[in-house]
Amino acid sequence: MPSRVAPNHPLPAEAPFAPDLPVRLGISRCLLGEPVRYDGGHKRDPFLADVLGQHVEWVPVCPEVEAGFGTPREAMRLVDDAAEPRLMTVRFHQDHTNRMRRYAKTRVRELQTLKLSGYVFKKDSPSCGTRRVRVYARDGHLLGTGKGLFAEAFQRAFPLTPIEEEGRLRDQGLRENFIERVFAYHRWQALSTRLTMARLVAFHTAHKYLLLAHSQRHYRELGRLVGNAKPYSIRELARTYGHLFMEALAVKTTIRKHVNVLQHVAGHVKVALSTAAREDLHEAISDYRNGFVPLSVPIALIRHYVRILDVPYLKDQVYLAPHSKELMLRNHV
């Protein structure tokens, strides 16, 4: 029987479905420090440029420059209708809506070939903002909020792709969730092009606890889908599974949900542990529940037991062994 162990042991092998292909993300070009803003400035974000940038391949896009408005240029804003705003310059009221829409249509088609696993947009921009971008009446008073024109076209073309704004990524929980979704989507993209029923079952099995940590409802729904897959073609399955899978991961995790998963997983190893080791595990989970240690502590301890007890079902769980880069980025936050 294993004795008491400290949770700082070497990592076990990574979970399957962790393709070695680079993780490619779109990004609003000004966030990387390029002087493409209307005033010739930039909005370099140190986390994106210096930390995340070391582990992903950026595809920088500046819709306003690429649509031909040049730098410097007259500032623009959204006007008229929050649901379907127009893109107009602030001072001379030039309407650039159609030009931006034409550009966006072509650019999203090009981006399709690059298989992006996520996109980081610049907040508040009438082209790049994904939420709460101010929309004005022509006389200048505030009407409401909407989405930047390019961001809206991107979301319509890539509804599953994880997106975030740089401002929201300063929130630890949102940042961690974004990184998790990006890597999960990357795994799904790699699988969905060569999907077979057997591979889908293996993928689903490996992600069970990760799904449970986000949404019980999706966990059950996806289980039913995989369990009763016969009437569907592989194409239909890929579409429905991919949609539900990414929707599940967008649901916020909580300490309570994690504790539930940890207890579930611990149930698989406890029987083979000594009393002292069981107590260690119980203590690590309660310390996490009470906010004394991060989630990585009980997870590392469980991984240790899974490895030495050689529990095949748990060894392949992504929840316990995410990709090393993902782990590094998530621990960094």
d(CA 184, CA 245): 9
Nearest alpha carbon to residue 249 among 315, 324, 326: 326
Q: Give, in order, the Cα–Cα distances in Å from 159 to each of 74, 110, 155, 243, 312.
A: 31, 16, 5, 8, 34
d(CA 11, CA 179): 19
Backbone angles phi, psi at 36, to 5 degrees: -115, 5
d(CA 316, CA 158): 29
Nearest distance from residue 285's CB to ligand SF4, in Å? Answer: 44
User: Looking at 24, 37, 218, 258, which residue binds ligand SF4 (CB under 6 A)?
Assistant: 37
Binding track, positions 53-92, relative to ligand SF4; x by CB under 6 A = ---------xxxx---------------------------
Nearest distance from residue 96's CB to ligand SF4, in Å? Answer: 11
Nearest distance from residue 26's CB to ligand SF4, in Å? Answer: 10
Total residues at interface with ligand SF4 (CB under 6 A)? 13
Does 122 bind ligand SF4 (CB under 6 A)? Our answer is yes
Does 123 bind ligand SF4 (CB under 6 A)? Our answer is no
Q: Are 219 and 211 in contact (CB under 8 A)?
A: yes
User: Within 10 Å of residue 62's Cβ, how many Cβ atoms?
Assistant: 23
Return the number of the residue (65 or 249) whose C-beta is nearest ligand SF4: 65
Does 36 bind ligand SF4 (CB under 6 A)? Our answer is yes
Q: What's the first-to-final CA gap in the chain, in angstroms?
A: 36
For residue 165, list its beta bridge partners.
Answer: 121
Q: Identify the three-state secondary structure at position 103.
A: helix
d(CA 80, CA 293): 50
Does 318 bind ligand SF4 (CB under 6 A)? Our answer is no
Question: Around 152, how many Cα atoms within 13 Å sit in the side-chain half-sphere?
Answer: 22
Binding window for ligand SF4 (CB under 6 A); candidates: 30-38, 44-52, 154-162, 213-221: 30-38
Return the number of the residue (38 or 319) whose C-beta is nearest ligand SF4: 38
Does 107 bind ligand SF4 (CB under 6 A)? Our answer is no
Nearest distance from residue 120's CB to ligand SF4, in Å? Answer: 10
User: Looking at 18, 23, 24, 28, which residue binds ligand SF4 (CB under 6 A)?
Assistant: 28
Binding window for ligand SF4 (CB under 6 A); candidates: 28-36, 108-116, 286-294, 296-304: 28-36
Residue numbers of the site for ligand SF4 (CB under 6 A)? 28-30, 36-37, 62-65, 122, 125, 127-128
